Structure 1
């Protein structure tokens, strides 16, 4: 591998890590200063000592302790910067460790640490750190999408598995993986794989090809090596050459929360928890839906009133569009939306069938549907037309987060695997909403919905809701 190129890449990664750490130092210092100088009295906490004097004497040590906790917890690890939730989890863990350390140290040394300072320090500091990490992540992802901070990836395995992995890496450009070539078994050598990945060598010459192609990472998929000992030899050959290695298991669409690595007798067994479709239909999610929908309906009511009046004044037609959709376990319900099309839109469907972007698919998609009204176009752009579905959520017919609510005509065309989407309540938003909306193909919509059904968690619901706000204001794929 070209030593100068490797040095430049390593320097760029170090600068990124140092930049994030510098931001943490500034924000921890700011939180300490605000907690010490804010002079905010917390009514439920007694005043122990002069908060300014004590906090000022502790300020520097608080910053040092918090930063050391971040380092020990691995919040600056290269593998977790810009992707996944582990970075956020470790930031929270480091903050909790710092809080525990300060509390226990004050107790053991009988130091009268101001309780108001202690509470304000973390009430202010933790959101600042998480917000900074989120902002830094957006910056890193934008840089990767524009061709910076890329990791050159060499894929090794059978042509079919190489293409599957390459498709994911090319689709998710924000991950920063640049596929530079593939290694396939000698028996199946071709110039390129069916998906267009150039084949540059054989799997039994992985180390030589990785060094010759200047790859940063070798991804081993199914078919990359016939026996475990072959992988071990490849690792020996790449030792000291600054080439990372990763194995893609023969699993797909399974969240990390359902997998756990448990070595048994030297075998790295991956234990997989059962699908979570039953948990996605029980009390915790229903309680979350009721509280969330009630609050959202209260906050959104002024906007809903305005657009209800505009819709009525536009052509005198009904404000709401009521349509039968298929809910959990195939039960039919009346889905509510603000009417965004002309009154006779259903009757005019055949006249616009030639505009369907998804010809031959289950869904009807038209970017320039002439049936959409002017007010309707605005509502669709920002998903305002879907706000009445909050009533469906409160009624228990829908969920805040879930698969897209399907029409009966669509369900009749479902294949066996797709029927699994009906195991949970359909959602007001979902992975399909935050991943491109109408820009997605039918296959991608199904894949995302099935992933959600099998890997449900309350944390995932909160993440999707947060991403929905961004997707709505970006208006990507909204028509």
Structure 2
């Protein structure tokens, strides 16, 4: 078992936090400099040295992020986004208090401080994402993880950790009770028996022990956790029952007995009120700001091909009620007939449609329609649906009636909320993902909804659209 844990020389538990702290400092410095210089160029009557004297305070941002546990491993992105935002807000409250106590508040521009705070909400998470993308494959970035279990949950844990290096863990062993006749490895990860746990060498490198076994009795859990606590820095329990929980679940103490408190936030009245209020305000602002763009696109569509500017299609909304979804027309006249003709003539095209309900190269799409779809601009009129209450800014995909059967028993949960203009499916590969994966993403979003999750998806949507994942 001496080969299970990574060698201490290649394990650097400080590397990932250090790189994330560096990313945060760079984001804070560049954002601050940009805000100050832009204000200075556009008539700011102040000396640049006034703001450069504040540079020592910028180092307080990583301290504030650390206080909100923003550097914790295995933190879901929406929760990390929330913690970073809270850390930014706490630091600005501190800066406001410092300038007030020093009687120098009037010397600093409120516009600069406001936009500095606002932009950091986006630049800090963006900087972290770039940092993980380019540095998560560095030797020493990931901590070793030993996974206990002989089931699909354990194997999927191995796959997830290998495919998503940014999580910061590397599976180094798969352990379960009886390895007789089993393979010696799974996806390159050695398979060991339970007795090997007691033979782990003592090393300075902290390792994670992940228990992914849903069929244990209480005594079995006690024994394996005791063994894990003796040999590992951290222990994670991941039984199958937690798949019904969500990332916002809380640990509660019931007179000495620990429990996991979870709930369905999105279907509760008060969260629905908050979400609906946000949708109305967002739709109003969007329509007013984009109205000139709407007029220009309407002209281009009419010049490109004969037919109406808008296209309305029946989709399934909340409570299973149908509604008319608004889009800019991107297809030729008599598109359905053209579509069926091409499907009958091309079996490969038909198989692609049957699998994903989308086509990468659709013969029905007009020249201007192709450009509109590439950037998802054709979906902007859905702001009308959002304002009318048929849709939400963020939510599951709006589906047609023929897709209901593909949701199976998950449709009941799907129908409890309004579909969205954007959603988790759009920032996770869009039409390049399989249909089953898209259904799972819709269900995951509904179970894990929060204001922060919506804000996280909204901030990621422009990047997903710009990359044209599966839509180009």
Matched, 1:424 2:417: yes
In the TM superposition, 1:286-365 aligns within 5 A as 286-353=276-343, 354=347, 355-356=349-350, 358=352, 361=355, 363-365=356-358
Separation in 2 of the partners of 1:30 and 1:11? 28
When normalised by structure 2's length, the TM-score is 0.81
Aligned pair count? 455
Cα shift at 1:128 = 5.3
TM-score (norm. length: structure 1): 0.80
Task: Note if contact 2:23-2:128 (Cα within 8 Å) is conserved in structure 1.
Answer: no
Q: Note if contact 1:82-1:140 (Cα within 8 Å) is conserved in structure 2.
A: no
What pairs with 1:49-448 in structure 2 (closer than 5 Å)?
Answer: 59=54, 62=57, 69=64, 72-76=67-71, 84-92=80-88, 94-95=90-91, 98-99=94-95, 102=98, 106=101, 112-115=103-106, 117=108, 119=110, 122-127=113-118, 129-143=120-134, 149-170=141-162, 172-186=164-178, 190-191=182-183, 196=187, 198-206=189-197, 208=199, 216-222=207-213, 226-238=220-232, 244-249=234-239, 250-252=241-243, 254-257=245-248, 259-264=249-254, 266-279=256-269, 282-353=272-343, 354=347, 355-356=349-350, 358=352, 361=355, 363-448=356-441
Give 1:384 shift: 1.3
Which sections of structure 2, spanning at least 5 residues, go unmatched? 1-5
Instruction: Label 1:368 to 1:22 Cα distance change in 2 as closer, same or farther (>3 A).
Output: closer
Q: Kindly state the Cα deviation for residue 137 of structure 1 after the two structures are TM-superposed.
A: 0.9
SS in 2 for 1:262: strand
Q: Would you say 1:460 and 2:453 are equivalent positions?
A: yes
Matched residue SS, 2:260: strand
Which residue of structure 2 lines up, in the alignment, with residue 477 of structure 1?
470
Call closer, same or farther: CA 1:62–1:203 in 2, change over 3 Å. same
SS at match of 1:251: helix
Q: Quick one: distance in 2 between partners of 1:186 and 1:321?
A: 60
The answer to whether the Cα contact below 8 Å between 1:154 and 1:182 also exists between their aligned partners in 2 is yes
Query: 2: CA distance between counterparts of 1:299 and 1:231?
Result: 57
Deviation, structure 1 residue 288: 1.4
**Which stretch of the first structure deviates more once superposed, 335-344 or 373-382?**
335-344
How many angstroms apart in 2 are the aligned matches of 1:300 and 1:270? Answer: 45
- 3-state SS of 1:85 partner: helix
Kindly tell me: are residues 391 and 359 of structure 1, through their superposed partners in 2, closer, same or farther at Cα, counting changes over 3 Å?
Answer: closer
Please tell me whether residue 16 in structure 1 is matched to residue 9 in structure 2: no
Any idea what the Cα deviations from partners look like across 1:348-376, whole Å, max 9, x if unmatched? Answer: 33334431455655x52221222222222
CA deviation after TM superposition for structure 1 residue 382, in Å: 0.5
- Say what the alpha-carbon RMSD is for the aligned residues: 4.0
Deviations 1:289-318 (A, max 9, x none): 122112212233333333322322223123
**Cα distance in 1 between the residues matched to 2:59 and 2:422:** 42
Report deviation, 1:439.
1.0
Any conservation in 2 of the 1:36–1:52 contact (CA below 8 Å)? Answer: no
* Structure 1: gaps (5+ residues): 42-50
